[in-house]
Amino acid sequence: MRVLVIGIDGATFRLMRPLMQNGYMPFLCEVEQRGALGTLETIYPPVTAPAWSSFMTGKNPGKHGVYEFLHRKRGTLEQIPVNAGMLGSETLWEMMSKAGKRMVVVSVPLCYPPFPVNGTLMSDFLAPKGARDLSYPPELLKEVEDKFGEYLLYHKQVYTKDNVANVLAELEEHTEYRQRVAEYLLKRDPWDFAMVYFEGTDRLQHELWHVIDPTSPMHDAEEAKQFAERTRNYYRVLDNDVRKLVALAQAQDPDTQVILMSDHGFGAIHKFVNFNIWLLREGFLKLKRDIPTQVKHALFNLGFTPSLGYKLSMNFGFANLRLSQGMTNRNQILDWVRRGFLSFRNVDWSRTRAFSSGNYGQIFVNLQGREPYGSVPQSEYQTVVEQIGARLLELRDPKTGAAVVSKVYKQSDVFWGEFIDDAPDVVFSLAENYKALGTLEFASHHVIENAFGNSGDHRMDGFVGMLGTDIKQNVKIENANIMDVTPTILYLMGLPIPSDLDGHVLTAPLRDEFVMSQEMMQGDALGARDQMIPDYTEEESEEVKERLRALGYLG
């Protein structure tokens, strides 16, 4: 029994269903008819790094320790980019290797730095630029580059009115390159398990959602007339690339079971929400009383904010600053922004009860003994959490009167495990088409404002498809979570399922004969392991953070 997994970042039925109906994704239609297809719920927050981490560990972030693209060092406000070393639990690759299964892994997020596996592994886009330790075995990178040219990991093109063609051209180039490398590696050595990752859908949907969504407030009919068909055609090409990989794998071994999946869904952004501004207005966050802070605050209230600068740059044609390749210059600009505008440097932590940090507005209590300048005693922690949660549910869009927060969760219902101390304290979902703006601490003086920049962002509903000799035909997959995929793979391959995984085997899409004949074996608990904090230089750390920020991954 072999298993091939193809990860399609951010793939969503919001786009794929109409594309399937209009002939752009015939292979996905075939998967639906000849196999199983359905929604795959992701973890909170629906961010690439923790989502793929939950896939490859079968655990929630409280057990593997990756909550975001950035990890906040305990006892500090310093944030560093995550990588594979941050995973506080054993991964699918390690489980396979220990069981003697050979594998091919192509650029799945959080595979940098590469680690020994029983097979071959290529790293992902979280590697710092210039890194050459991008493969296992180490010599594989040169072999791949000798055949296909420089290993393409980093997307440089972002949306501006005059740059759509370049965004699409880069996506097409990267996808074709990834396809060719994947085919080569699948043919190179025998394998039992393989996974190939495509990130182009995520990039396209962040940058160009408005091009093919006429309901987007950023939609431009003339722009759509010029580029919508080419944008839709990207999915046709990707669909065919997936078909070719599946055909290759099943030609090698007809008993190859296939899983297609995304790490999260996608949807439009109509409005941004600035949660540090909200916390400031609600009295949970306090500013210093010194003169420089008072001056900054007065200018801030007049609209002198980073978002104003961004909008002016767009209006005057300087939006290509986002495309600048000068990392040092950009980091100096960001440092200047933090010095010139309100930032956490201006917060009076002794009077602050909570602050927001993260791509989805995650709120942390300024807890004594945990935060570097903690002011809230443990005895008041739950009261503060409940107060914030209640106020969030009262937050309304001043223009429409609509609720902005759709639900507030108990932390324990979303996260549990050995790394719970790193979890946000207040966990909530936003109403459809609202997005937290988290690039800078105080990006705008408005709590709610019209979105700018990226026109699409993540949702909780990804997708999953299954195809193979042991998969039922024409079945709708229901009640599936991204944490369920790894236990399902282990079961398909006849391997024990560690007892502390949070996911469950998806048996409903599997043929009854297979389920009756395949024993479901429970293995020992894996437990947790120490996280290895990335040994980045300051320049490498800032380079990765700025690349993530420019691509819209940091709010």
The average pLDDT across 224-246 equals 99
Phi (first) and psi of residue 216, to 5 degrees = -70, 135
Phi (first) and psi of residue 339, to 5 degrees = -80, -35
**Residue 75: alpha-carbon gap to chain centroid:** 25
Could you tell me the maximum CA-CA distance found in the chain, to the nearest angstrom? 75
- 511, with CB counted inside 10 A (0-12, 13-18, 19+), is middle
Residue 152 tokens, joined: 């393409």
Q: Which pLDDT value is given to residue 324?
A: 43
The average pLDDT across 362-384 equals 98
The average pLDDT across 284-309 equals 89
Phi (first) and psi of residue 374, to 5 degrees = -55, 140
Taking 50 as the threshold, does the pLDDT of residue 327 lie above it?
no
Which of these ranges, 178-192, 220-234, 314-328, 379-393, has the smallest mean pLDDT? Answer: 314-328
Q: How far apart are CA 147 and CA 128, in angstroms?
A: 23
Cα of first residue to Cα of last residue in the chain, in angstroms, is 42
pLDDT band at 304 (very low <50, low <70, confident <90, very high): confident
Taking 50 as the threshold, does the pLDDT of residue 332 lie above it?
no
Q: Please tell me the pTM assigned to this model.
A: 0.94
pLDDT digits (tens, 9 = 90+) for 472-485: 999 999 999 999 99
* Rg, Å, the chain Cα set: 23
DSSP class of residue 197? E
Taking 90 as the threshold, does the pLDDT of residue 334 lie above it?
no
pLDDT band at 331 (very low <50, low <70, confident <90, very high): very low
**Residue 17: alpha-carbon gap to chain centroid:** 22
Amino acid identity of residue 3, one-letter, is V
The average pLDDT across 195-206 equals 98
Closest CA to 442 of 275, 308, 311: 275
Q: Please, are residues 455 and 268 in contact by the beta-carbon 8 Å criterion?
A: yes
Q: Which pLDDT value is given to residue 325?
A: 42
CA angle 354, 393, 214 (to 5 degrees): 110
Q: How far apart are CA 101 and CA 169, in angstroms?
A: 37
Q: Which pLDDT value is given to residue 223?
A: 98
CA angle 550, 312, 219 (to 5 degrees): 70
Residue 433 tokens, joined: 């088409």
Which of these ranges, 86-100, 137-151, 316-330, 331-345, has the smallest mean pLDDT? Answer: 316-330
pLDDT digits (tens, 9 = 90+) for 7-29: 999 999 999 999 999 999 999 99
Taking 50 as the threshold, does the pLDDT of residue 383 lie above it?
yes
Q: Can you name the residues that pair with 38 across neighbouring β-strands?
A: 464, 477
Q: How would you label 306-338 residue by residue, b for 16+ Cβ within 10 Å and e otherwise?
A: bbebbbeebeeeebebbeeeebeebbeebeebb
The average pLDDT across 409-417 equals 97
Q: How far apart are CA 407 and CA 269, in angstroms?
A: 18
pLDDT digits (tens, 9 = 90+) for 128-157: 989 999 999 999 999 999 999 999 999 989
What structural domains does the chain harbor? 2-268+458-463+483-500+515-546 (3.40.720.10), 271-450 (no CATH)
Q: Please, are residues 131 and 140 in contact by the beta-carbon 8 Å criterion?
A: no
| HEC string for 232-272 | HHHHHHHHHHHHHHHHHHHHHCCCEEEEEECCCEEEECCEE
Amino acid identity of residue 372, one-letter, is P
Distances (CA, A) of 448 to 362, 456, 513: 16, 17, 54
pLDDT digits (tens, 9 = 90+) for 499-547: 999 999 999 999 999 999 999 999 999 999 999 877 788 888 888 887 8
| Higher local confidence (pLDDT), 335 or 173 | 173
Q: Which residue has the tokens 């599946």?
A: 246
* Orientation angle between helical segments 164-188 and 221-252, nearest 10 degrees: 0
| Higher local confidence (pLDDT), 228 or 532 | 228
pLDDT band at 555 (very low <50, low <70, confident <90, very high): low
Q: Which pLDDT value is given to residue 379?
A: 99
Q: Which pLDDT value is given to residue 539?
A: 85
Closest CA to 444 of 280, 321, 217, 316: 280
| Average pLDDT over the chain, rounded to an integer | 93
Outline where DSSP puts E strands in 447-489: 448-450, 456-459, 461-467, 475-481
Taking 50 as the threshold, does the pLDDT of residue 333 lie above it?
no
Q: Please, are residues 433 and 213 in contact by the beta-carbon 8 Å criterion?
A: no
Q: Which residue has the tokens 């709610």?
A: 448
| Higher local confidence (pLDDT), 457 or 317 | 457
Q: How far apart are CA 76 and CA 68, in angstroms?
A: 16
DSSP class of residue 43? P
Helix (H, G, I), strand (E, B) or coil at 62: helix
Q: Which residue has the tokens 């999953």?
A: 464
**Residue 186: alpha-carbon gap to chain centroid:** 26
Distances (CA, A) of 270 to 168, 187, 217, 274, 457: 23, 45, 6, 14, 10
| Higher local confidence (pLDDT), 452 or 332 | 452
pLDDT band at 335 (very low <50, low <70, confident <90, very high): low
Which of these ranges, 224-228, 333-337, 419-423, has the smallest mean pLDDT? Answer: 333-337
Taking 50 as the threshold, does the pLDDT of residue 317 lie above it?
no
The average pLDDT across 208-227 equals 97
pLDDT digits (tens, 9 = 90+) for 66-80: 999 999 988 888 889
Closest CA to 549 of 6, 22, 69, 44: 69
